[in-house]
Chain A
């Protein structure tokens, strides 16, 4: 076994895909999708200045909108996780916090993951619940 401290192993296993190149690509692809969604939504809202509840409700009753919304949420969560992970492993480092850094990172990463899981379940519930 090469030198692998506990801290190193934790940072590796918690990366999105346990692979830097793959994370890099997921971050870029999700960014492109989210950029496209953002522009589309802004244009749609600008073209629909007086939006009624019935119109809005009918829109989210169509399955392609529900699927697109879920894909967008999945992309946002994957993108967020890679960003949150990157910031955490940069700033909550052994160099800045010493040996306790691994504990800080663990709490930070676990909290972030839990928030993302809540976001996903909440989103699915909004789109398909009731």
Chain B
């Protein structure tokens, strides 16, 4: 029984036609935050480079991170890290067979979103 209209693989156009249950949103956010962190490594290296090159550069970095644009970038990257971290732990638990059912997966997605939002708020309190 061959059903030829069955999708073969994911494509951008397919993504628009999908329904977006919470599990799917949690998953795509994990990927988006991953891409953000890939770019974020560059920001981290830039900061590390500045902080270690001289005392003047160290102070310059401190004042960049003390001003609003710097704080916003720092907080966004910390938020991406917080989400990716929590979603990653959820994945490791799934690997251990925890939360593999449909209902379990839904609950795991909700719990991971709750925990990461908490961490994102805490990171905001720390930065601002």
- Which chain B residues in 31-58 approach chain A with CB under 8 Å? 31, 34-35, 37-38, 41-42, 45, 48-49, 51-53, 55, 58
User: Is the CB–CB distance between B89 and A35 below 8 Å?
Assistant: yes
Which residues of the other chain, B, contact A60 by a CB distance below 8 angstroms?
52
A-B contact pairs, 19 of them (CB 8 A): A31-B92, A32-B92, A35-B88, A53-B55, A56-B58, A73-B41, A76-B41, A83-B31, A84-B34, A87-B34, A90-B10, A93-B11, A96-B9, A96-B12, A96-B13, A115-B38, A119-B41, A119-B45, A122-B49
Interface residues of chain A, those whose CB is within 8 Å of chain B, are 28, 31-32, 35, 38, 46, 53, 56-57, 60, 73, 76-77, 80, 83-84, 87, 90-91, 93-97, 112, 115, 119, 122-123, 126, 130
* Min C-beta distance of A75 to chain B, whole Å: 11
**B45-88, CB under 8 A of A: which get 1 and which 0?**
10011011101001100000000000000000000010001001
Interface residues of chain B, those whose CB is within 8 Å of chain A, are 7-14, 31, 34-35, 37-38, 41-42, 45, 48-49, 51-53, 55, 58-59, 81, 85, 88-89, 91-92, 95, 126
Complex partner residue of A97 from B7, B11, B38, CB under 8 angstroms? B11
User: CA A95 – CA B12 in complex, angstroms?
Assistant: 9
User: Is the CB–CB distance between B49 and A87 below 8 Å?
Assistant: no
User: Is the CB–CB distance between B38 and A28 below 8 Å?
Assistant: no
User: Is the CB–CB distance between A87 and B51 below 8 Å?
Assistant: no
* Min C-beta distance of A62 to chain B, whole Å: 13
User: CA A38 – CA B83 in complex, angstroms?
Assistant: 13
* Min C-beta distance of A117 to chain B, whole Å: 12
User: Is the CB–CB distance between B52 and A95 below 8 Å?
Assistant: no
User: Is the CB–CB distance between A80 and B37 below 8 Å?
Assistant: yes
Which residues of the other chain, A, contact B7 by a CB distance below 8 angstroms?
95
User: Is the CB–CB distance between A126 and B58 below 8 Å?
Assistant: no
